């Protein structure tokens, strides 16, 4: 478990002190509040706070004086309409604040999503923990032979063991040197802000990350997708479960139109129309490049 007993006790205390409020609460989300869901070997995601629910999206879309809800089915229909027509601002009315613990190389991918507010653990002020991401054997994969930006089969036998040993030894040695440099016993001690520079990218960091639902769904669309690297995808997948409980109608529409749906080019649409009329369309007659045609074929299954 990535949490110390003291950290868990703090969370339990917070969960044990419910407060009454006039604000909207989403029952599906209340059960997730503060709970740390483990991800990778030492990481987690947990919800610190949130604002809004499915009704809040409809309330904003209708610019309503009250709750904005007409009926659950009416609201679900409106939310599907908004999602279908890329009417995104009502989704921005919902917000979520997360506490995430993640390896630095995952954080570098995550931080590219600029439409969020972030506050990261300061390794200038505090000493980082001796915690490094070491992939489970199944995820210690070889370079993909077909995709330069991907991985293939898991490494096997002696090579797998050697790679695992190198990762573990390098991480521990780097941390030993980090500790040695900042230690003040018999020396001045190097500043933490400098000593941290020899730590590898698999060391864990933590941050608070606040984002609105529209931009969170954009993040999930990109990072819960199979093209995303496994180590960020597992965080996105954990978040998908939380969002599905928080705003079930919005998440259902997102699954249908974004995760499960597809965008077609004008050429692709033209090909489908011609195919429906019985024409045999090939890559040469489609007007598409080889890559576009391959992806189009994959889309049609
Ligand atoms: C599978 C995958 C592979 C990737 N590979 C690489 C890679 O090799 N190299 C690399 O550098 N990155 C890579 N990325 C990162 C990618 O290019 C984006 O930076 C990242 O996904 C964030 O997307 P975003 O900019 O849409 O998100 P956000 O920053 O959250 O922005 C959301 C939307 O807001 C708008 N927006 C935000 N800021 C601005 C702005 N300043 N100006 C105009 N519009 C803005 C845009 O419409 C944007 O789509 C990869 C991402 C994925 C998912």
* Cα 238 to Cα 79: distance, rounded to the nearest angstrom: 23
Q: Look at residue 69 in the predicted model and tell me its pLDDT.
A: 67
Handedness of CA 230, 232, 238, 243 (dihedral sign): negative
Do 109 and 210 share a domain, yes or no?
A: yes
| Ligand 1 binding pocket mutation candidate from 216, 221, 222 (most atoms within 8 A of CB) | 222
Q: How far is the CA of 292 from the centre of ligand 1 (A)?
A: 21
For residue 16, the domain's CATH number is 3.30.1360.170
* Cα 118 to Cα 211: distance, rounded to the nearest angstrom: 9
Mean pLDDT is lowest, of 18-27, 248-257, 286-295, for: 18-27
Q: Look at residue 85 in the predicted model and tell me its pLDDT.
A: 95
Q: Look at residue 234 in the predicted model and tell me its pLDDT.
A: 98
Res. 150 pLDDT band, cuts 50 70 90: confident
| Shortest-distance Cα residue to atom 23 of ligand 1 | 113
Tell me, yes or no, if 15 is annotated catalytic.
Answer: no
Res. 284 pLDDT band, cuts 50 70 90: very high
Which residue among the candidates 23, 223, 273, 274 is catalytic per the annotation?
Answer: 223
Q: Look at residue 1 in the predicted model and tell me its pLDDT.
A: 52
Residue written as token pair 């994959």: 298
Half-sphere exposure of 213 (CA within 13 A, CB side): 30
| Shortest-distance Cα residue to atom 22 of ligand 1 | 113
Indicate whether 36 pLDDT > 90. Answer: yes
Indicate whether 192 pLDDT > 70. Answer: yes
Q: Look at residue 126 in the predicted model and tell me its pLDDT.
A: 92
Q: What percent of the chain has pLDDT over 90?
A: 83
Q: Look at residue 156 in the predicted model and tell me its pLDDT.
A: 85
Mean pLDDT of 224-246: 97
* Cα 61 to Cα 87: distance, rounded to the nearest angstrom: 9
Indicate whether 65 pLDDT > 90. Answer: no
Q: Look at residue 73 in the predicted model and tell me its pLDDT.
A: 73
Do 124 and 72 share a domain, yes or no?
A: yes
Question: What mean pLDDT, rounded, does the chain reach?
Answer: 93
Mean pLDDT of 13-41: 93
Mean pLDDT of 1-15: 86
Q: How far is the CA of 108 from the centre of ligand 1 (A)?
A: 12
Do 23 and 141 share a domain, yes or no?
A: no
Do 40 and 169 share a domain, yes or no?
A: no
3-state secondary structure of 126: coil
The tally of domains found in the chain comes to 3
Read off the pTM: 0.94
Do 92 and 157 share a domain, yes or no?
A: no
* Cα 105 to Cα 33: distance, rounded to the nearest angstrom: 27
Q: Look at residue 242 in the predicted model and tell me its pLDDT.
A: 98
Q: What are phi and psi of 102, to 5 degrees?
A: -155, 155
Do 149 and 112 share a domain, yes or no?
A: no
Do 89 and 74 share a domain, yes or no?
A: yes
Mean pLDDT is lowest, of 3-7, 96-100, 201-205, 264-268, for: 3-7
Q: What percent of the chain has pLDDT over 70?
A: 98
Indicate whether 64 pLDDT > 90. Answer: no
Do 148 and 121 share a domain, yes or no?
A: no
Do 23 and 88 share a domain, yes or no?
A: yes
User: b/e string for 14-26 if b means 16 or more Cβ within 10 A?
Assistant: eeeeeeeeeebeb
Res. 46 pLDDT band, cuts 50 70 90: very high
The CA angle 294-300-301, to the nearest 5 degrees, is: 90
Q: Look at residue 110 in the predicted model and tell me its pLDDT.
A: 98
The atom number, within ligand 1, closest to the CA of 115 reads 30
Do 181 and 244 share a domain, yes or no?
A: no
Binding residues for FAD: 89, 112-114, 120, 212-214, 218
User: b/e string for 132-171 if b means 16 or more Cβ within 10 A?
Assistant: bbbbeeeebbeeeeeeeeeeeeebeeeeeeeebeebeeeb
Indicate whether 225 pLDDT > 80. Answer: yes
Residues with CB under 6 A from ligand 1: 112-115, 215, 218, 222, 227-228
Do 165 and 94 share a domain, yes or no?
A: no
Q: How far is the CA of 161 from the centre of ligand 1 (A)?
A: 36
Indicate whether 232 pLDDT > 60. Answer: yes
Indicate whether 104 pLDDT > 80. Answer: yes
Res. 142 pLDDT band, cuts 50 70 90: confident
Choose the final residue of a domain: 244, 259, 274.
259
Indicate whether 28 pLDDT > 90. Answer: yes
The atom number, within ligand 1, closest to the CA of 116 reads 30
Binding residues for dUMP: 109-112, 120-124, 196, 223
Q: Look at residue 209 in the predicted model and tell me its pLDDT.
A: 98
Which residue segment(s) compose the domain that 24 sits in? Answer: 5-133+203-259
Indicate whether 68 pLDDT > 70. Answer: no
Do 284 and 184 share a domain, yes or no?
A: no
């Amino acid at each position: 478990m990535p949490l110390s007993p003291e950290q868990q006790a703090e969370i339990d205390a917070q969960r044990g002190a419910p407060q009454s409020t006039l604000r909207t609460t989403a029952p599906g989300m209340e059960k997730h509040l503060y709970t740390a869901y483990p991800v990778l070997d030492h990481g987690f995601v947990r919800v610190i706070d949130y604002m809004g629910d499915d009704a809040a999206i409809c309330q904003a879309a209708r610019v309503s004086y009250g709750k904005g809800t007409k009926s659950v089915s009416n609201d679900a229909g409106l939310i599907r309409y908004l999602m279908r027509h890329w009417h995104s601002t009502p989704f921005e009315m919902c917000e979520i604040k997360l506490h995430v613990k993640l390896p630095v190389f995952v954080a570098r991918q995550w931080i590219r999503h600029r439409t969020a507010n972030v506050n990261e653990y300061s390794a200038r002020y505090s000493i980082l923990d001796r915690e490094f991401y070491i992939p489970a054997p199944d995820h210690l994969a070889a370079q993909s032979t077909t995709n330069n930006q991907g991985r293939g089969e898991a490494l096997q036998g002696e090579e797998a063991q050697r790679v695992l040993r190198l990762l573990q030894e390098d991480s521990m040695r780097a941390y030993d040197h980090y500790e040695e440099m900042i230690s003040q016993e018999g020396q001045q001690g190097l500043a933490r802000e400098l000593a941290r520079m020899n730590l590898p990218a698999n060391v864990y960091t933590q941050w608070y990350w606040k984002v609105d639902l529209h931009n969170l769904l954009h993040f999930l669309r990109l990072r819960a997708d199979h093209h995303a690297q496994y180590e960020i995808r597992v965080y996105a997948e954990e978040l998908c479960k939380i969002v599905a409980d928080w705003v079930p109608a919005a998440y259902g529409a997102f699954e249908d139109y974004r995760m499960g749906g597809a965008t077609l080019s004008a050429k692709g649409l033209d090909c489908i129309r011609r195919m429906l009329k019985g024409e045999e369309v090939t890559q040469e007659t489609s007007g598409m490049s080889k890559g576009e045609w391959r992806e189009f074929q994959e889309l049609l299954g």
